[in-house]
Amino acid sequence: MDLGERLKLTLFGASHGPVVGAVLEGIPAGTPVDLPAVQRELYRRRPVGRALATKRMEEDLIRIESGVEGGRSTGGPIVGVVENQDVRRAPYRELEDVPRPGHADYPARVRFGTAMDLSGGGIFSGRMTVGLVFAGAVARGLLAPHGIDLLAFTRSIGGVEASEAALDRPMTELRSAAAATEVSCPDPEAGPRMIEEIERARREGDSVGGIVEVRADRVPAGVGEPFFDPVESVLAHALLAIPAVKGIEFGAGFKAARMRGSEHNDAFYVEGGKVKTRTNHAGGVLGGLTTGMPIVARVVVKPTSSIAKPQESISLSERAPRQLVVKGRHDPCIVPRAVPVVENLTAFVLADLLLQGGYL
């Protein structure tokens, strides 16, 4: 039910309940908790200020109920709560009987019956990712002193991809380039075209998917727990729990299927006494353990399932066809909002693995 081994994350609340929140256990006593920085990560996740996103307005101010005193963790569970302010339940009533295509409505009804309120997605809502960002942002307090830095960014939206050249830059440059666009894409040429792609989808009552890439620099070599918690497994487990993520790949990823071993194998060399590899097709992970090279992963985010276009569905009670027009306020593309979620959740996973390996 929880995520993590040495760190444990539990999410609570629901999209249209009074709050969403998270309990984070295992942060060692005395770890600095930079609450303004945590709040900034939560702001990155908000749609506010994005012309492109949902009209639902939430302040997403975090309230710490437990576990932090004087800017440091006490060693007990850290509980963060965000009030849901802009809650409107009415638009979701119909969905109790007519499941939205592409959404959890149908299987959730089968499994949990009507006890579970699915307004706004209930516990399946993207709003639950508030807790993922919160936990990861706190966990970064464990990574920063070791020089470990992370960045996620939008790699593609619909048919528009960032160019390899634009992405082949140091993390600090990528960070500022990504921050300069509304879609968190570090390619200044592709960014505006991505925005057009999203606006076109919105105008057509439709939505569009994309790919988020995350990188982590300066993770020491040897991190990961062979059978059964290799780095890829643990990261995939976490990132695929983000709503709408449907796949993940590391390094060369699916391209490895077409590669020869002589091409995919990253040759070792020594530079300044440090072991490095000339390429990084492994994405910084060999045999489930980090190599000391940057960790590189990519996830695919499916197009938002809630769209304005009429869709073919059914009445569950009558077992009969129904045309469905989804009301409510929805993002035509959640890829940019997934960026800080992927980044901070990756931080959480790495901090947990570093703790397990005795690195922290």
d(CA 215, CA 149): 8
Nearer to a second copy, 189 or 268 (CB): 268
Residue 307 engages a second copy in binding (rule: CB under 8 A): yes
Contact track, a second copy, 47-86, x by CB under 8 A: ------------------xxx-x--xxxxxxxx-x-----
Q: In this structure, what DSSP letter does residue 33 have?
A: -
Strand partners, 277: 268
Residue 294 engages a second copy in binding (rule: CB under 8 A): no
- Exposed, middle or buried: residue 264 (CB in 10 Å: 0-12, 13-18, 19+)? middle
Residue 168 engages a second copy in binding (rule: CB under 8 A): no
| Piece of the chain touching a second copy by CB under 8 A; list 37-45, 139-147, 246-254, 346-354 | 246-254
Residue 329 gets the label, from left (phi > 0), alpha (psi -120 to 50) or beta, of beta
Residue 300 engages a second copy in binding (rule: CB under 8 A): yes
Residue 88 engages a second copy in binding (rule: CB under 8 A): no
SS3 329: coil
For residue 10, which phi and psi values (nearest 5 degrees)? -125, 135
Residue 259 engages a second copy in binding (rule: CB under 8 A): yes
What radius of gyration, in Å, describes the C-alpha atoms of the chain? 21
Which H helix or E strand runs over 339?
A: helix 335-356
Residue 126 engages a second copy in binding (rule: CB under 8 A): no
Residue 35 engages a second copy in binding (rule: CB under 8 A): no
Residue 225 engages a second copy in binding (rule: CB under 8 A): yes
Q: What interhelical angle do 35-45 and 335-356 show, nearest 10?
A: 140
Nearer to a second copy, 26 or 173 (CB): 26
Residue 19 engages a second copy in binding (rule: CB under 8 A): yes
Among 304, 328, 351, 352, binds a second copy (CB under 8 A): 304
| Piece of the chain touching a second copy by CB under 8 A; list 39-47, 169-177, 186-194, 295-303 | 295-303
